[in-house]
Amino acid sequence: MLLNKMKDLRLILRTSLFLFIILGINACEKEEAAGPVTAQIFRSIAGKQVAFTALTLNATEWYWEFGDGETSNEMNPVHIYSVGGVYEITLTASRGQESVTATTEVSLDLSVYDMLTGGSGAANGKTWRISSAHSDKDAVALADQDMTVIESVSAGALALFLGLGEEYEDEFTFKADGSYIHDNKNGGSLGSLVFGLATQTPIVNVTEASQSFGFASLAFTPEAGATFTYTEKKDLTLTVVSQADGVTTTELTYPGVSTLSFSGNEFIGLMGFERECIIQEITPESMRLAMFMSATQGENYDKPSLVVIFTFEVVQ
């Protein structure tokens, strides 16, 4: 009987060893078949609370950096930010010695200034350019109380109709510290033809069509160390001249508007006698500005008679 028990024990040991080897081989095969670690980020935003989901394959550990100094090792954390702003999120997913990172950006409860500049976390600021797609609200309008539209601006108009397509390339960068960088890619900037003639500013490009609208590409050297000023709400008062006769002037106030103004001779979008412009609408991706243009040649040539309303887009 003792002999039989020893045989049974040896059989059990051999069977256990066999199963251990088989299971070990299967585990190794599964690990090898698992493939590389991959990672993407999904997020859902409600106010300043963001629910993050790690869309990963083959990861066993997760490390989140939320852009505000806080971190988490949860796979799918929920994070509440104390203040609004633009934050860059980094997820590092790993398995053993292998790791991969994914990044995304969230914009929370942004002020107009944050949307304009990218906020204090954007070291390089935020860069804009005139959108070649324009919008259904882009137009050339009269400088009257209602900004009465006299000509809608269609997609690609500067290039297709006015022959000034190079102006879509100019870039305007706003930084949270108030600094401003104007990069006119071709040495010229979109401007009022009347302004160019009156100030003897060299004309880089003008076409018959652009002349009929009062536009030209004028030589301009951007100002080093330029700054901008954002005013959240003001009553902007201007002396405007009638586009119809070029003589009649009116003191006009646009109440409670948000504006941008610039140091020295700087401007955004349109060079003319009046450099302060109105922010009509802004989102994290686009903004629409109303810029004033002088387009009469009488004694009041230096007073605006038109408003150029253009949409600007973020340069990615």
* Alpha-carbon distance values, 101 to 54, 56, 62 (Å): 11, 10, 10
Q: Which amino acid is at 194?
A: V
H-type alpha helices, 126-282: 157-160, 193-199, 208-213
Q: In what order do the strands lie in the sheet with 85-95?
A: 71-72, 61-65, 85-95, 98-108
Question: What pLDDT, in 10s, does the model give residues 19-60?
Answer: 444 445 454 445 445 799 999 999 999 888 999 999 999 999
Q: What whole-number distance in Å separates Cα of residue 214 and Cα of residue 270? A: 12
CA 137 to chain centre: 19
pLDDT at 302 over 60: yes
Mean pLDDT of 222-232: 97
Q: How far is CA 305 from the centre of its chain?
A: 31
Q: Note whether 262 and 181 are within 8 A (CB).
A: no
What tens digit of pLDDT does each residue of 96-111 get? 999 999 999 888 888 9
For residue 195, the cross-strand partners are none
Question: pTM, whole model, 2 decimals?
Answer: 0.76
User: What is the Cα–Cα distance from 167 to 150, expressed in whole angstroms?
Assistant: 22
**Each residue of 275-299: pLDDT tens digit?**
999 999 999 999 999 999 999 988 9
Domains of the chain and CATH, by start:
38-107 (2.60.40.10), 112-314 (no CATH)
Calpha distance 182→185 (Å, rounded): 9
Contacts 24+ apart (CB under 8 A), 229-232: 229/178, 229/260, 229/261, 229/262, 230/112, 230/113, 230/116, 230/258, 230/259, 230/260, 231/258, 231/259, 231/260, 231/261, 232/112, 232/258
Measured distance CA(192)–CA(211) in Å, rounded: 9
Residue 24: what pLDDT? 52
Burial class (CB in 10 A: 0-12, 13-18, 19+), 153: buried
11 has a pLDDT exceeding 70: no
